[in-house]
Amino acid sequence: MTAEPAIDLGFLDQSMASRARQKRQRAMASLGVPILVTVSWLAVVTVGDHWGRISDHLGAAVTMVFGSFLATLDGTSSTFVKTGKATAPPP
């Protein structure tokens, strides 16, 4: 009786590593939109000299900036990055 050859399952490790890498890339890409919006907002506020209005409504401004980043962490904003199609999150 001969021993059966060992099955090489190395491809599973490669697949898991590839998926983990893709997940990290999608997470980083989903942060790109809020960063772009925030930088654009800062440019408009600076060019238009609206810092006085920002200081009047500082709480709302800070909440909006951080809220845009938190919205991406729950995964709903990265739907477009994952599929290439804009879809609404499930109810």
pLDDT score of 86: 52
pLDDT value for 49: 92
Q: What is the 3-state secondary structure (H, E, C) of 37-61?
A: HHHHHHHHHHHCCCHHHHHHCHHHH
Q: Along the 91 residues of the chain, how does pLDDT read in single tens digits?
A: 566 777 777 777 888 888 888 888 887 877 787 788 889 988 999 999 998 888 888 888 788 878 777 776 665 544 555 555 555 555 5
- pLDDT value of position 70: 75
Structural contact between residues 30 and 81, judged by C-beta atoms closer than 8 angstroms: yes
Q: Closest Cα to residue 70, out of 31, 23, 25, 36?
A: 31
Q: What's the pLDDT score for residue 72? A: 64
What pLDDT sits at residue 40? 92
